[in-house]
Each structure stands twice: as C-alpha cells, then as structure tokens.
Amino acid sequence: MSTNDAMDVLNSTQHTIREALIKMGFGEEMYELLKEPLRVLTVRIPVRMDNGKTQMFTGYRAQHNDAVGPTKGGVRFHPDVTEDEVKALSIWMSLKCGIADLPYGGGKGGVICDPRKMSFGELERLSRGYVRAISQLVGPTKDIPAPDVMTNSQIMAWMFDEYSRIREFDSPAFITGKPIVLGGSQGRETATAYGVTIMIHEALRRKNIPVEGARVVIQGFGNAGGYLARFMKEKGAKVIAISDAYGAIYNENGLDVEDLLDRRDSFGTITKYFPQTISNNEMLELPCDILVPAAIENQITMANADKIQAKIIVEAANGPTTPEATKILTERGILLVPDVLANSGGVIVSYFEWVQNNQGYYWSEAEVHQKLEAILIGAFEKIYDTHLKRDVNMRLAAYMTGVRKMAEAARLRGWI
C-alpha cells in the first residue's frame, strides 16, 4: 500500500470508529483513546545477506488497545508496508476480536521487504531478527503474532524458535499459525477461507439464492482465494473468474479449480499460463452472484461502484472497498459483508491455537470447524440484525459491534 493509500485507509477507519461510537452514545474522549494504537514500535533489523553484506530492514509492531486482554495480530512481509498501514490493521484486528468476542485487543506487525527476492536463509535471518527486535513487547500474555501477507507457517516456526531461545523456555503460545508439529492448530491454514465460505452461505440465505450453481468471482488466488475457490466448488457453486496481480481468467461456464490450484505458484500467480486474460477491473464488474475481493485494499471505489453487477460482496481482503463505494453499493441494494467480519476466521482459529497451546490439549479439525462456525454465524446474525434495526450499512453495524466490548472494558478500567 502506498503512503497516501495507507493514510486514506487509516483516516477512513478512524471516521467509521467515530461514527460507531456516536451511534452507541460514547463521547469524544473514547474516540481519542481508540483512534490510534496505544503503542507503535519501529525497529531496524540488520540481516547478513547471502552476498556477505549486511542489509538494514525497517519493521513495525502496533498494539492498538489491550483493555480487553493481550493484543493479537499478524506480521506481514511486503515492500509497501507503512507505519500508517500497520496502525490501521491493528485497529481492524481490535474490531475483529470484538466482533468474535475474543479476549484480545488488536495488534499488527510488518517488515518492509520483498520475500520473493530473498533466499530461504535470508528470510530466516530476517524473521529471527524481527523477533529479537520486538521481544520486549510481545509474549503469550502481552501480544501474540501470526502469519499475514507473504508470511507463512515456516516463518512462524523460526519466530517461535527465536523467542523460545531468548526466553530460555518453550513458549508455543507466543505465536500462532505454526506448523502442526510445533503446536499449530488443525484448520488454521484454511481458517480465513473457511470463514469466508460460512459468510457467503449466510449472505446467500438472506438473499434467497441457492449455493448450488451460484456464480462466484474471486479477486486474488493466494491462500485465502485459493482455498475459497476449492470450498465453493465443493459446495456446488460455479467459480467463473479468478485473478492474480497480473490479470484475471474468466469462463462463464465455470473454471477447473483443481487444475488452477495445481498450476499456481507459491505466491498465487496463475494467469501467466493463459494467453487470453482480462484485467482485474473488468473482472470486478462481471455479472455474478458473489464477488469476493481477496487481494489488496481500495479495489472497489467511487469510480467503479456503480458498475459492480454482483448481488453480494464478501470482503476476504482487508479494506478492499472505500467508504464512498460502501455507501453506493448499499444504496443499490448490494449486500456487503465487511472485512472485519468476513475474514475474521483467521484470528478466531489463531485464538483456538493459543487456547490449545496454553492447555496442552489439542482438538480435531472437525472440532475447530464446529467452534468456528458457531462463532461466525452468531456474529453475522448480530451484525445483520444491527444493520436492519439501526438502519445502518453492514460495515457500520460491524464497527458498532466490534468497538463495544473494547470501549466498555476501557470505561470499566477507569481509562475514560
């Protein structure tokens, strides 16, 4: 995300939080507390590269609010990471935890780097260096990291090992998204996509559209988009278009999802194998039942909101729809399931992993899915009811639900 885009996302998030707090009767003091993270750490990480030279990397860790409990949130490795982006993402994590009624506040981390241009060894040294840099601020009862954009279970394993070395005891509850053999949870890798699938099912019910034969367009074919395509295909839906960073492929009769999953690379790139593609913008405007932005921010804006032909939009990515576009889509009768609800499956199953690590007792994948469905369906119903009863759009309804627990906790602690 560019610096300007990150600032726009942070500003729009703050605006919606203010609106949600006003709707619930909280004053300006509460907004001043919640509009920014309580702590933001900037670190410089020296990494010995394969050519023998030392390169400096800049990283961040934001802890939005710990009134409810320890902060929780992912770490992304990306060349466009900015401080404002990390701040906004930590606020979103607080909202997700509030929506799911988890005992957490929101956190987020990031390192400015391009892992696609780094060797395995360089990535390991960077991962360990980041943990050393933030080790005083994180821990199982302080702040629990997790995977995010361009990080994975292997990177979490390195971070877990480094933290355990620093603390001189095994501490699996320090970080989630780990490999199963190191205390990871069943169902964690697919959690975001599985959660989005549940949200799609609930949204289709409200629109009286059967899953069987429903036309689905998915922007992004990484972890979330790839698994989502498989889950929707298994439920009988028709995935008619998917995209990566370079374009999109479209077939109105449905794509061969398993073939695409077999052929994509580790970063979700697939369109290079197809001579005929369409642009991402064209794909967003295709006629369909469900549109799932599962890539990056600011994809649906004032410029294209009136051209969207989907009946339902479910935001698997963070911040894919601008506030202005949200207003246009709502006025057009398109049901939008906002990111802080739709993609919260990841943090919910991360919470399950943390609980299992603390207990030393591990659940089956079926148990994880059952518990995840119960939380998400309950959250959807609560937000949808707020949307109808308070006559607000789904995003504002989600923010009202997400901010309530945090604001009440801060008030009861005597912070406000």
Catalytic residue among 96, 108, 178, 238: 108
Amino acid at residue number 97: C
Whether 108 is catalytic is yes
Kindly report the number of other CB atoms within 10 A of residue 381's CB atom.
11
Helices 83-99 and 345-359 cross at an angle (nearest 10°) of: 70
Q: Rounded CA gap, 35 and 410, in Å? A: 13
Query: What's the CA gap between 416 and 413, in Å, rounded?
Result: 8
Strands 143-144 and 71-72: parallel
At residue 40, what is the residue type? V
**Annotated catalytic sites, by residue?**
108
